[in-house]
Amino acid sequence: MKHEKYMGYLFEVAWILPSVAIPISVIVAVLITAFAVGIRVPDIAGRIEPKAIAATEPFDEPGLRELAPGKYEAAMVAQVFMFTPNEIEVPVGSEVTFVLTSRDVIHGFKIVGTPVNMMVVPGQISKMRFTFTRPGEYLIVCHEYCGGGHHAMSGKVIVR
Amino acid sequence: MAVIARPRGAVREQVADRFATEKRLAGLNILVAFLALAIGGLMGVLQVLEYNGIDLYRAVKPVLPGGYYQGLTLHGVLNVLVFTTFYIIGFLTLIAAMSFDRPLASGRLAWVTFWLMLAGLLVAAVPILLNRATVLFTFYPPLKADGFYYLGLTLVVASTWLLLVNLALTYRAWRAANPGAKIPLAAFMSIITMTMWTIATFGIATEMLFLLIPWAFGLVPGTDVILARTLFWFTGHPIVYFWLLPAYISWYTMVPRLAGGRLFSEPMARVAFVLFLVLSVPIGIHHQYTDPGISEIWKLVHFIFTVGVFFPSLLTFFNVVASLENSGRARGGKGWLAWIFALPWNEPAFTTQVFAMLLFAFGGAGGVINASYNLNLVVHNTAWISGHFHLTVGSAVALTFMGITYWLVPLITGRALWSRGLALAQAWLWLIGMVTFSHFMHMLGLLGMPRRTMIGAAPYIQPEWQALLPFTLVGGLLMFASAICYYLNMLMTITRGRPEPDQEVPFSRAVSGPEDVPAALDRFTPWVVTALLLVAINYGPTLYYLVSTGRFNITGLSPW
């Protein structure tokens, strides 16, 4: 009985060490990708009055604008069940900052094949940046249930 | 399981009746739970058929006017809110009392708890069935449901607090009669579970009472969406531990006995539970990594604490597997791994729960990916997430709960399980079906397929998704077959089972038991205070910021 318990403690300690080491290595790995590689999640980007979207920059003129050579801002408005605009086209190598808000309910904004993935919330501005290094057609899906036509809500980024 | 012979006559009557109230309540709660799961599960079958181009929603239009999304609302509400909550309240009512070896302090309060929960369920069910609450189980505003939907759900949640009151009163009476004794393990764990849950429900209760209910009944014109979401996830993450901890109680305190052995370490089990109490709540923002309006810093802090919960999960993994090894060796098993074959694989209550653990190992590993801050960007709101929680709540929890009923329903009804073969078939079908379904859902998520979407009708459906979707149908139909085995077996057990009275809860003894438990692991107050402090630190600044900058002017709509 005594021996059984002693062996038990040894096994416990042998297990506790990796149980601490594994979570810590997960944390370190994520911190490196976030701050050394720069893959970040959306931060606070400001509030907006949903009724005044049409009068608030940059959503007064939704669409693509060039900020500097190779750098663009894509301002898009989400509403049931569409994005405005629902298609943008940029050259390969462009760094695009997606700026979105919603006119009505919560929508989702995911560009398939990229880490661009945000919630689009009425009253809030969502912002994420991504550099398109490969040409192609990227599907944008609304991935948050927004009503009866949710599955029809999509868009496209064309990279040439 | 052990059937203990008791003397006939008056003594036996007295003994048998002591837990009559708890047994009746457990039976009724579990009945409601499995009726809910039957309807919720059928909705899942409709969904997986729709994924594959077989749209049955037109055929069921008279009963389901809202089609896919009304069905999806039922699927979520019935499976993860109603099934889980009713089952847990019933299960803990019974096992806490039996673990304390005394009836609950107030049988009347226990009945009130049940009737209030049932009333809440009925109040919420009406608008859902009328297609006036097709807002899914997350009910994110400003999607606006009928006010009674929010009112009913709030009543269900608030009623569960009464079980904590009852357990606390029972504990006090037990302590007065047993000064100096260690709290029995299952009772300790039940109280930890209900305490954690009560702290956790602060979020949803605040969201409902101060934001959604006044707004849905037209008392205020609008709401603040990001604040409501944050309050929702304050409860929405720890709710998964509310589902999981009762399964853990079974794995720790009963499965070793079902396996023919002993729990490896009671002190280690208590460490895990205490850590779940402390760490479950202050991590909910990891569901909001992609949300605007919440600081990146607090997202990072919640990430770090979430990974912290991985620690008690790993402790549980070790302790439970070590207990299985203890059982395998006690049954004559030898070798590094050959003891596995000595385990009682022909015992349904055992096999079902071990399959649940196996599926949960994969679910837990996937969960670390979901929780990993920027890695979450790859999978957030994709089919990966649905794949993930079908392994966790859909297997670790639901399959364990089914496995428990293989001894619990006989205990409550006094009738032996009708067919062990059918029960084993149920376990294997669920295992194979779920592995298939969830594996391909994870893959579809990595290919960008969104979750909670009527994919069969989506104009943008991708050919590479269509290549994998049939496998989700195969998995779904296998689980459907498993469910048919389960319900048939239960129906026959209740109506035709061979009488087998006087069964007991299969509580395990431990290799390292109560005598090794330090005093700190037999108390609640220090851990509750630590939990509340961590909640205040991790949520205080974000909630203060959201409330002070909130505009409460989003009016909402019901676009279904």
Tens of pLDDT, residues A146-160: 999 999 999 999 999
Q: Which residue reads 């009738």 in tokens? A: B415
Please name the residue of chain A whose CA is at the shortest distance from the CA of residue B303: A27
Q: Is 90 exceeded by the pLDDT of residue B553?
A: yes
- pLDDT exceeding 90 applies to what percent of chain B? 96
pLDDT in tens, B84-142: 999 999 999 999 999 999 999 999 999 999 999 999 999 999 999 999 999 999 999 99
Which architecture characterizes domain B18-452+459-549 according to CATH? Up-down Bundle (1.20)
- Split into its structural domains, chain A has a count of 2
pLDDT, one tens digit per residue, over B514-547 is 999 999 999 999 999 999 999 999 999 999 999 9
Q: B64 CA to chain A: closest CA distance, Å? A: 14
Q: Is A83 among the domain residues?
A: yes
B196, with CB counted inside 10 A (0-12, 13-18, 19+), is buried
3-state DSSP of B414-444: CECCCCHHHHHHHHHHHHHHHHHHHHHHHHH
Across the interface, whether the CB atoms of A41 and B374 are under 8 A apart is answered yes
Claim to verify: residue A85 and residue A107 sit in the same structural domain: yes
- What is the rounded CA–CA span in Å between residue A107 and residue A109? 7
* A70 and A1 in a common domain: no
The amino acid sitting at B319 is N
pLDDT computed for residue B8 by the predictor:
46
Confidence band, pLDDT 50/70/90 cuts, at residue A12: confident
Question: Which residues are A100's β-sheet partners?
Answer: A76, A126
Task: Say yes or no: A13 and A79 in one domain.
Answer: no
Same domain, A57 and A22: no
Looking at residue A11, what is its pLDDT? Answer: 84
Tell me the residue length of chain B: 560
Please indicate, yes or no, if residue A45 is contained in any of the structural domains: no
Q: How far apart are CA B223 and CA B551, in angstroms?
A: 8
Residue B423: pLDDT band by 50, 70, 90 thresholds?
Answer: very high
Q: Is the pLDDT of residue B207 over 70?
A: yes
Looking at residue B9, its pLDDT comes to: 44
Judged by DSSP in three states, B202 sits in helix
pLDDT at residue B12 is higher than 50: no
Q: What digits encode the pLDDT tens for the residues B216-243?
A: 999 999 999 999 999 999 999 999 999 9
Is residue A113 located within the same domain as residue A141?
yes
- Shared domain check, A78 and A25: no
Q: pLDDT tens for residues B265-276?
A: 999 999 999 999
Distance, CA of B433 to CA of B479 (rounded, Å): 5
Asked about B452 being catalytic, the answer comes back as yes
Which residue shows structure tokens 């061979």?
B498
Determine which one of B439, B452, B471, B507 is catalytic.
B452
CATH number at residue A69: 2.60.40.420
> B312, B306, B478: which is closest to B390 by C-alpha?
B478
Contact B527, B188 (CB under 8 A): no
Percentage of residues in chain B having pLDDT higher than 70? 97
Chain B residues whose beta carbon lies within 8 Å of the beta carbon of residue A151:
453-455, 457-458
Nearest to A122 among B142, B549, B560 (CB): B142
Structural domain contains residue A95: yes
Is the pLDDT assigned to residue B15 strictly greater than 80?
A: no
- A2 inside domain: yes
Report yes or no: B526 and B277 within 8 Å, Cβ to Cβ. Answer: no
Interface of B with A in 248-287 (CB under 8 A): 264-265, 268
**Helix B383-391 / helix B420-446 crossing angle, nearest 10 deg:** 150
Same domain flag for A107 and A71:
yes
Closest CA to B164 of B521, B528, B507: B528
Query: Would you place residue B502 in the very low, low, confident or very high pLDDT band (cuts 50, 70, 90)?
Result: confident
What pLDDT digit, counting tens, does each position of B364-373 carry?
Answer: 999 999 999 9
Residue B14 has pLDDT above 90, yes or no: no
| Model pLDDT, residue B16 | 55
Residue A104 contacts B where some CB pair is shorter than 8 Å: yes
- Whether A107 is covered by a domain: the verdict is yes
Which position among B87, B303, B389, B401 bears the catalytic label?
Answer: B389
- Chain A, chain B: beta-carbon pairs less than 8 Å apart: 201
The pLDDT of residue B483 is 98
Residues A56 and A103 in one domain: yes
The reply to whether A89 and A149 lie within a common domain is yes
Instruction: Name the residue facing B454 among A43, A104, A151 (closest C-beta).
Output: A151
- Min distance A27 CA to chain B CA atoms (Å): 7
Q: Which residues lie below 8 Å from residue B229, measured CB to CB, with a gap of 6+?
A: A106, A121, B140, B288, B291
pTM: 0.95
Nearest-neighbour CA in chain A from B75: distance (Å): 14
If asked whether residues A87 and A130 sit together in one domain, one would say yes
Q: How many residues does the structure list for chain A?
A: 160
**Cβ–Cβ contact A6 with B under 8 A:** no
Same domain, A29 and A101: no
Residue range of the domain that includes A103 = 50-159
Mean pLDDT, chain A, integer: 94
Q: What is the pLDDT of residue A122?
A: 97
Instruction: Look at residue B177 and tell me whether its pLDDT is greater than 80.
Output: yes
pLDDT exceeds cutoff 70 at A52: yes
Is the pLDDT reported for residue B315 higher than 50? yes
Chain A nearest CA to B313, separation (Å): 9
Summarize pLDDT for B336-345 with one digit per residue, the tens. Answer: 999 999 999 9
On whether the CB atoms of residues B266 and B521 are closer than 8 A, the answer is no
- Domains in chain B: boundaries: 18-452+459-549
Which residues numbered 21-60 in A keep a CB inside 8 Å of some CB on B?
Answer: 22-23, 26-27, 30, 33-34, 39-45, 47, 49-50
In this predicted structure, what is the pLDDT of residue B303? 97
Q: What is the structure's pLDDT at B17?
A: 73
**B489: pLDDT strictly greater than 80:** yes
Q: Is A45 helix (H, G, I), strand (E, B) or coil?
A: coil
Is residue B390 annotated as part of the catalytic site, yes or no? yes
- Predicted pLDDT at A1: 56
Residue B5 pLDDT more than 60?
Answer: no
DSSP code at position B554:
B
Q: Give yes or no for B173 touching A (CB within 8 A).
A: no
Q: Is the pLDDT of residue B292 over 60?
A: yes
Q: Which residues contact B283 (CB under 8 A, 6 or more apart)?
A: B237, B302, B305, B306, B308, B309, B538
Q: Each residue of A24-33: pLDDT tens digit?
A: 999 999 999 9
Indicate the average pLDDT of chain B.
95
Q: Which member of A39, A121, A152 has the closest CB to residue B374?
A: A39
Q: Are residues A151 and A83 part of one domain?
A: yes
